[in-house]
Structure 1
Amino acid sequence: MEKKEWYLEYEIQKNRPGLLGDISSLLGMLSINIVTINGVDDGKRGLLIRANSDEQIKRLESILYTMDTIKLIKLRVPHLRDRLAVRHGRYIQRDADDKKTFRFVRHELGLLVDFMTELYKLEGHRLIGIRGMPRVGKTESIIAASVSANKRWLLVSSTLLKQTIRSSLIQDEYNENSLFIIDGIVSSKQMNEKHWQLIREIMRIPAVKVVEHPDAFIQSTEYTIEDFDYIIELRHEPDEEIIYDVRKRNALLLGSEFEGFDF
């Protein structure tokens, strides 16, 4: 029988020497293997474990509930966030009200790239929006994740090196392994119908599309925020306000004497 992976997370109630050894010994007695272990929050540990049967997991769960040194938090088939939490030692922050919105700060770029890499590996159409102020690392993270996921990234509209506005693709770019990057602010300024026709064609391709500044994008298209499968917010600091009002944003970033900004 093929072994199945599970995610175990517990909170330490009485921290004493040998506690992790006790947990490891218990898993060993139940013939459950530890794949990965890490701290995932203050006073919490997360483990990826592998078991031969669900019965082993049920026995483990019943024993863990009797232990007064720990509090069982999660024991389930691992979600993507669980795997990344064990890998990086912390959980991705998720919006409490909007479950498809995930929040990162700049010092978590490694975690963000890993998260987007896993999203890119999912098959079929995926529409991902990413919000953030200039120079926070949005485009760089998108491209780094595409390389990690072995995807061919294509700039449909961007200001990464210079302003890019595409109105057509070559034949081999219409590919499910391509990753299409759209800057919502740059595209929203365009009156070129060929550019918008290209975006509509891209939306019909069963591939990953990433839209920077999705709020600006939906103001100029028939798409809504509900059409996005995931929304990522990237900030310099946790309490940073993401501003889409151009004049207010320019005043904060460059001083009120500047009237324009190349997004």
Structure 2
Amino acid sequence: MRFFPLLVVLLAMAGCATPPKPAPITLNWAGLYDNKATLSLTPGIRHKLDAIVPLSRLIVRQDRIPAQTGILFGLNFTIPGAVAGDAVALRQVIRFPTPGLTNPQGQLLAQSEKPLAARTGHPLTIGYRFRDWEVKEGEWIFEIWRDGELLLSKSFYVTQNEPVPAEQPAFQRLEDPQCPLLSYPENARKQRVEGQTQVLFTIRGNGSVEDVSLLARSGATQAHALLDTTVIQAYKSCRFNAVQGIELYYAGQAVSWVLK
């Protein structure tokens, strides 16, 4: 048969074909998620919150993001590898809607960029929680880079027309002149210092709610003192007879505190 030799050649070439390379990154999910841990306090008892790792729980997979303060959205990915646990140096870039965000100092920011430490085979979440001045409609692009190569690009579309899921209400800030919000000084919250993590948490007591924001250095003594001071203030302010609980919202690495 005239076609038999050609068939033999094609089969031989197929047998020698190089197997496809595994994808350099796997996108596990993208959308709105929860990143919190809860601690209940008992008056007069020393509580220890030690090295808690943020819990990233997906609420809903979606690309459309509600344009509201406090909303947390992002993605979860895994870097495959022959050996699980190998360290991988990545870079995270979040591109803001054109022309960018204007921070409280009047600076125009086109993007946010920072190094990202990952491990092969270990899922990792990156996300963004809106502060007041960061709520901007349009396309937000999340990118993961490795050695100058773009591994992943994911677009989210922030819009006022998207409702907030019941499981992720935006932060509520109470306006009560007799009960000022507990907060770390505004100028400190604006700092961008390597090795520091912004932490948002809510104090609940006697039916009232207070949102607290502070900047803490991972493992530093001053982080312990800041949180201790805030808890003590909560006992004394807003007519709280006792603090019923504290919800801690993390952005970044785990932080250890001792609550007195």
Q: TM-score, normalised by structure 2?
A: 0.22
Q: Hey, which of these two has a bigger chunk of helix by percent?
A: 1
Kindly name which structure, 1 or 2, has the bigger radius of gyration based on alpha carbons.
2
Structure scoring higher RCO (CA < 8 A, sep ≥ 6) equals: 2
